[in-house]
Structures are given as C-alpha cells and as structure tokens.
Structure 1
Amino acid sequence: DSKSFQVPKPSLTVEDSEEITIGGRTWLALHLPGHTHDHLCLYDPVDGIFLSGDHVLPTITPHIGGMGNMEDPLAVFFNSLERTKEFSQVTLVLPAHGHPFTNLVERTDDIIQHHVDRLQLIRETGDSIGEASVNDYMKHLFKERSWGDMAASETYAHLEHLRILGEATPKEEKGLKTYKFA
C-alpha cells in the first residue's frame, strides 16, 4: 500500500570528498550530480573500486531529465563526468545496472560523446523541422519504443542546455513550449 510508504531518514549524512568507513573499508564519498542532483558515488582508493550507482553505466547512458531542480542538468552531468575522469586509477567499477567493468575513463568519454552527438542531432533536427515541440524533437532522438516521459524529459534537458548556450530559442504559446534554432 503506497499510502503507508515513508521515505526512510538517513542514518548518516556525508559531504563531498568525505571519507567514510563501511564494512572495514574506507571509501571516499563523491558528489557527482547529473542523473540526480544528489547522486553520490563511493571510491576505495586502496583497491581501486568505484561504486558508480547510476552515474556511469556499462552499456547504457544514465537518464538526464530536465524536470528537476537543476537549471542545466546536462551541464552539471558533463562537469561530473569530467571530474570522474580524474579517477584513472580505478580498476573495478560496480554500477547500479549491468555488469561490473574496468574501463571507467573510456566509458566516461563514451558517455560524454553520446551526449555531444545527441546535441548535434538536435541542432540538425532543428535545422530540418524548424520550430518544434519537445515531443517533436524526442521523436527524432529516440526510437518509437522508447517514446514516453523519460525520453521527453531527457530531450527537454538537451534543449534547455542548448537554450542556455544561446543556440535554441524557446517560445510558449497556449501551454505548448517550442524551440527553434537560428
């Protein structure tokens, strides 16, 4: 019953770069927002283990939604990914989804490139379709089987990133927001 669900209260709060001990192992807490504003990864510098959560995944890219409390979640995510590349001594990544992997820096570069490519596809789509809604752009970015709220919010995050960069101009009329490229 969802009415009886209560969000648990944290038993421990940590700050970015704070060391915490769990199970006899010392971890470095890393605040790496983007997927969510409060995303935390843990790094064991002794054994080179990185608990990536949803920040870096082995075969898919984390969802970057545009409906949260970050003005530009994609820029925040890019910054977090750049910071992640500083941990080149990681030997094992344990993600929240998928199998463990060992190539953190390479995978981080792949995810950055994926989003750079998506931004370029949005620009090209804007050039071909002109002023269009988030859903119109979404249909060019995602396969039909993926259409839905998550695809729309990720498309919105990318469009807002381009707006903040001064590349896209939004317009809202009768509750419908559209974007166009100059």
Structure 2
Amino acid sequence: MNRWEDIVQVPLPLPFALKIIHAYLIKGEQGYTIIDTGLHTEEDLSTWKQAQKEVGWSWQDVEKIVLTHYHPDHYGLAGKLQQLTGAPVYMSETDYQQAKLFLDRESDMPEIMADFYRKHGMGEERASQIPGHLRSFCRWVEPHPEPTFIKDGTSIRLGDRDYVIYHTPGHADGHLSFFDPERGWLIGGDFLLPKISPNISLWPKCNPNPLGTYLQTLTEMKSLPVKKVFPSHGPVFDHYVERIGQLQQHHAERLQKMEDFLIQTGGATAFEVCTYLFGADLSIHNLRFAMAETLAHLEYLRLADEITRLEKENRYIYSVV
C-alpha cells in the first residue's frame, strides 16, 4: 500500500481484466474516509482487513464512505461496509439510480441490453449470453447501500480537508471527482487514468451521447490546476493536462478509424465495426464493453451529422453521409 501524507492507496483484486482497483483511505481527526470499495467478495473484504492491520484502524473508525460512481468495482462493497461501519455512504443520485437499473435482480435491463445489441448486429449466440452475464454481477454488489446524495459544485470533508465536488461524466453519467484546491490533488475515480482510456459506453436508458459528454468534461476540467491525480486504475500521476490531451487525441483517432471503415465497407452494423476494432475473440464481458464503446463513438458521429443510421431487416446500419 502506497501513502501520500493523509492518503493511503488500497489495491483491491478484481476477477476480470483490470485485475486491480485502487480504493483510497483518508485519515482525519474524526476518523477515516473510504473512497470506493471494491467488489463484495471475500478477497476484497480480506484486503480491507489487511489494510486495517497495516495502517491501524477498525470498522468503528470509519467516518464516511464516498463513491466516485456506481460501477461494481467501485460500488460493490459499499452496502456491506455500511453495515460493518455504520457510516454514511455518499454518491450521486444519478449513479445510485443507475446502480439499481443495472444491478438490481428485479431489473429488466439485462433483457433490454440483449435486444439492444441484437438490433445493432450481434448474433443470437452472443446476445443470449448478455442477461446471465449482467445478472452475475448482482452477487458482487449486494446488499445495496442506503446512500446520501452529493452533487457538483458543493464541497465534502475528506479527512481534515475540504474537497470540491466535480461532476465528471462520460465514463458514468453521475461520475464524481474530488479536488483539494490547497494541494492541487484530484481523487478522480475513472475520470482520468494514466495508462488506459476510460471505457466510454453507450447503454440503453442512459446518456444518448456519452462520448460527447466525456470530451466536454475533458475540455472543462483541463483548466483545473491539478498537480497530482489519484486514479482508480494505474499509478498516481502528475501529467494531468498532458494526459487529457492524449485522451482527446485517442478519441479523435478512433473516430477517424471508424469513419474510414464505414467508407471502405459502404456501411456496417455496430457489431461489425466492433469486431473490426477489437477483434472477434472476446469474452462476453469484454464484448459487452467493446460494443458499448463502439456505439458511443458511432452515435457521437451520427449526432454530429458525420454519419447516418438506417434500419434494414430489423438491424441498424451506419454509413458515412
């Protein structure tokens, strides 16, 4: 576990491609604040208990639990930790609603998502795997927390310092980041990662243009005087403005690559574009995110009137104008 003054980085294991999520523990006079939680697994609970031994704190010492967003690796243990600590859980209202939409056992989102992917060209063999795969995450997020909602433009006490709350959507509609203006430190969740591009996904019933939103977030946040970023994946880093520029360039290049493919093919489904970009040999987990990322870029181009979308034989075909 790495440490910076009052902040401890806690690496928690994940049973999928990212392998590790970095949660953070912030020490204050009133107790400890946990930033993001990992999944509700025995491995992640054991890691938190090991952090207690190494740092010297107990569940009763936890003052609050704060979530950057609703994705299972950030949100999953929040309800269990709330039971263990009695501490309030803070997150955006948007992301709590989406946690229930995607991760509640009674939600029909798994079936909606499978139909959505069929409409965009995914074959029945893969699409039929989507509902079971999505519902497999429920066990990793139960029990759901009972949160207190926080929002952009206000401040929150983390440890002994006041952090400004910034709404940094794109990766998740209600994603929040936390900025300490005195030190120039940003606890950024998945808003800005040092080595990989945050997944920007288009989902049913959510933001219809998440890539447009994310690019706007990058532009708006670029002027913030950030000296150090504490991300959820990858090492703490200080090349904030440079990294924003790299991600802007990355998405520009991907958009151009998609347009070139559509010109070459004369039109294609999102699934065909996805296969071109990411390959055909993907697990259902990786395919779900690859499709959602592909759709975010295609819909960005469509809404910018760069490409069109027509329905043919009950499937959407994207073409260059």
Which bin holds the TM-score, normalised by the shorter protein?
A: over 0.9
Q: Partners in 1 of 2:280 and 2:186 — Cα distance? A: 34
Deviation for aligned residue 1:143: 4.3
1:78 to 194, 215, 228: 215
Task: Tell me: CA distance 1:94–1:135, structure 2 relative to 1, closer, same or farther (3 Å).
Answer: same
1:120-145 deviation line (CA, Å, top 9, x unaligned):
11111111111111111112222455
Alpha carbon RMSD of aligned pairs, Å? 1.8
Is 1:165–2:304 an aligned residue pair? yes
1:69-108 deviation line (CA, Å, top 9, x unaligned):
1121111001111111011x21110000010000111101
Is 1:148–2:287 an aligned residue pair? yes
Ranges in structure 2 where 5+ consecutive residues have no aligned partner: 1-137
Q: Partners in 1 of 2:303 and 2:140 — Cα distance? A: 39
2:156 to 20, 23, 39: 20
**What does residue 123 of structure 1 align with?**
259
So what's the TM-score if we normalise by structure 1? 0.92
**What does residue 84 of structure 2 align with?**
none
Task: Tell me: CA distance 1:113–1:145, structure 2 relative to 1, closer, same or farther (3 Å).
Answer: farther
Is 1:2–2:139 an aligned residue pair? yes
Q: Percent identity?
A: 32
2:318 to 175, 179, 182: 179
Q: Partners in 2 of 1:47 and 1:74 — Cα distance? A: 30
Is 1:111–2:214 an aligned residue pair? no
Is 1:135–2:274 an aligned residue pair? no
The amino acid across from 2:149 in the alignment is T
The amino acid across from 1:164 in the alignment is L
* Residue aligned with 2:195, SS: coil
- Asked whether the 8 Å contact 1:27–1:43 carries over to 2, the reply is yes
- Asked whether the 8 Å contact 1:134–1:152 carries over to 2, the reply is yes
Is 1:56–2:192 an aligned residue pair? yes
Q: Partners in 1 of 2:281 and 2:243 — Cα distance? A: 25
The amino acid across from 1:38 in the alignment is G
- Asked whether the 8 Å contact 1:132–1:179 carries over to 2, the reply is yes
The amino acid across from 1:112 in the alignment is Q
Ranges in structure 1 where 5+ consecutive residues have no aligned partner: none
List 4+ stretches of structure 1 deviating above 6 A: none
Decide which structure has the larger Cα Rg and report it.
Answer: 2
